[in-house]
A and B are shown apart, each in its own frame.
Chain A
Amino acid sequence: MKDVSALMDGELDPKLARSTIARVEDQDELRAAWATFHVIRDTLQGNAIGPSRFIERFHDRLEQEPVPVAPRWRIPRPGPGALALGGAGVVLMSALIVWMSGAHRDTRRPVDAPVPVPAAVANRLNGAIAVEYAMGHRQLNPAFVVDDFARSSEVRPPASAQEAAK
């Protein structure tokens, strides 16, 4: 009952206050103390009202009342099942959006795909790589003639460079 007294003064730490509230609800003796202590407070503050059956009458009325639907002030944390369902929903929705937009038929290149190289350029690049490779390994093949190999490839300086050389 000492805790009830401190509770009504707002002088309990939150944890003890919550457990005391629960005990007041559970125990008749503590509920009686809560009620009587408030009568004392109101009387000392000049609000004396004679004994009445107010709370008993109210209790009877409240019994008839349906429980009000409480608001959801906090977003509930989803459980594992809800997460799995949510994930499946996202996948299904994404698939549906892709299908509806015709993206499944889209042949456009994805952003990260390698850039296709035109055949002529590819040949020139391959030739350059081959020249580099042969130059690096020419000591292993004394019969190797770099110029002939180079001429056999399509590696040529750009036309603008040739004109500039002239």
Chain B
Amino acid sequence: MSDREVDHQLVLRAQRGDKLAFELLVNKYERKLQRLLSRLVRDPAEVEDVTQEAFIKAFRALPTFRGESAFYTWLYRIGINTAKNYLAAQGRKAPTTADIAPEDAEEASGDDLARDTNTPEHEMMSRQVAETVNAAMDALPEELRSAIMLREIEGMSYDEIAAIMNCPIGTVRSRIFRAREAIAEQLRPLLGTHKDRRW
């Protein structure tokens, strides 16, 4: 089941009244949407409020989502409209970058976000997360580090990674999982999450 199909499954469940399924989608896209909206709404606190509002609007509009486009493309439009309406209500004009396409938004670097949500506290916390992940990556055995980099940074499928690393798909699957687990172990104290807690 492809990534898009997983989203569609979660949407179908949410449409049947399963709010937890929608929260999994929020979990998946909250940072991506915040990054996008931070290019329109500069204040970090406002970005978070507008992102929350966009997700609530998306939840209310779920009955109209028919799966003809990817969930994130649909969410993206809702996010842009929510931000524009928010700015208009305050008599502010949205920057022209509001008309960027979803794929353009994907290409914006993390530095853009850091700049756009640039308060000392936010910047410090973001840097801490990034440093923790980087340190955990450096500590990984070579085969785990290569597997997760090919997946997360190069966006390769398990098939492609198996071909490059000359190993079975099951091994790729196992290596990527072990890499994530090792990084998550370092990240949990920072995120305030534990294995046995909700988030």
> Which A residues form the contact surface with B (CB < 8 A)?
1-2, 5-14, 17-18, 21, 24-25, 28-29, 31-52, 54-59, 61-63, 65, 67-71, 73
Contact = CB atoms under 8 A, between A and B. Distances in A.
Contact of B133 (A5, A32, A43, A68): A43
A10 B17 CA distance: 24
A62 B19 CA distance: 7
A145 B171 CA distance: 107
B153 interface: yes
A8 B60 CA distance: 25
Contact of A40 (B52, B61, B183): B183
Interface in B39-74: 48, 51-52, 55-56, 59-64, 66
B129 to A, nearest CB: 5
Contact of B52 (A12, A48, A58, A73): A58
A32 B6 contact: no
Contacts of A14: 1, 5
Contact of B9 (A21, A42, A50, A57): A21
A12 B184 contact: no
A63 B34 CA distance: 21
Interface of B: 1-6, 9-10, 13, 15-24, 26-28, 30-32, 34-35, 48, 51-52, 55-56, 59-64, 66, 109-111, 113-114, 117, 121-122, 124-130, 133, 137, 148-149, 151-153, 157-158, 173-174, 176-177, 180-181, 183-184, 187-188, 190-199
Nearest to A6: B173
Nearest to B193: A32
Main secondary structure on chain A at its contact with chain B?
helix
A8 B67 CA distance: 19
B148 to A, nearest CB: 8
Contacts of B151: 9
A62 B23 contact: yes
A38 to B, nearest CB: 5
11 contacts: A1-B177, A2-B173, A9-B158, A17-B9, A29-B196, A32-B194, A39-B129, A40-B187, A49-B126, A55-B26, A68-B15
B84 to A, nearest CB: 21
Contacts of A50: 121-122, 124-126, 128-129
Given A9-B158, A71-B64, 8 more contacts: A10-B2, A35-B193, A35-B199, A36-B193, A46-B111, A55-B27, A58-B52, A59-B23
Contacts of B129: 39, 43, 48-51
B6 A7 contact: yes
